[in-house]
Amino acid sequence: MPAHRVHPQHQVKEVSSLSSAKEMPSGLKHKKEQCWPPTRQCLCVSCMAFLVLGVLAAAISLGITFGIPGKPANLSYQQCKTASQQRGFLCEDLTTCLPPSLLCNGKLDCSHGEDESATYCGQMPSSLPQNLIFQCPNQKTWTYQDKLCDSRNDCGDCSDESVLQCPKCSGWKCDTVFFADCDCIPRTRCKDGIQDCADWSDENLCE
C-alpha cells in the first residue's frame, strides 16, 4: 500500500505595518480621540492655555524690566540734618546731606548717584524712605517733607498746608483765588499787581 507523504504546509502570516508599530499610550490615544478632528471645545481650551501662558510671560517680563512692587520701603539709609534742620538724605560720601525733594528729581546730586538709583526711585513713593515723604489724607497724592508749609497746594486739598502741619503762616494769610495756593501766600507776592487774595488784601494791606 503506497505510503502517503504529508508535506508540511508553510503558514503565511500577514504582517500589518500598523500592528508592528508601537502601541500609542492610552492617555494620548484618548486625547487624540477627544480632540481629533478639532472641535470647538478643543480650540477654546487651546486658546485659553495660550492666553494664560502669554499673560504669565508678560507679567514676568514686566517684573524683570520694572521690578516687582513690594511693600512700602522702610529702607536703612543714612539720615542727616539739612541746613534748615530738617531730615535729609546722607549720600555715601557721608558728607553731602540732601533735602528730601532732591531724591529722584532726575539729577545726580550724590557723587555716586545713589539719590537716583532704582533702589529709591523704582516704585515711588513706596520705594522712598517713608519718613522723608508726606502721604496726603486722600491716599492718592504725596509730597516731600521739605515741601510742607511752602504755601503750595501739593496735596490738592491743602492738607500739606493745614494748621496741623503749619501752625503759623510765615507770609500773608487770606482766602486765595488760585487753586495752587491755600490760605497763605509768600510776602513776595504782595503788591505785585496780581490779585492773589479774594478781598484784594494782598494788594491793599499786605506789606
In this structure, is the dihedral angle defined by the CA atoms of residues 162, 167, 170 and 176, taken in order, positive or negative?
positive
pLDDT along the chain (207 residues), means of 10: 48 42 48 56 72 75 51 64 93 95 96 95 94 93 94 91 85 91 91 95 93
Q: What is the distance between the alpha carbons of residues 105 and 161, in angstroms, rounded to a whole number?
A: 22
Residues 6 or more apart whose CB falls under 8 angstroms from that of 202 comprise 172, 174, 185, 189, 190, 191, 195, 196
pLDDT at residue 22 in the model: 46
pLDDT at residue 129 in the model: 94
Q: What is the distance between the alpha carbons of residues 205 and 174, in angstroms, rounded to a whole number?
A: 11
pLDDT at residue 52 in the model: 78
pLDDT at residue 115 in the model: 96
pLDDT at residue 64 in the model: 54
Taking the whole predicted model, whether its pTM rises above 0.85 is answered as no
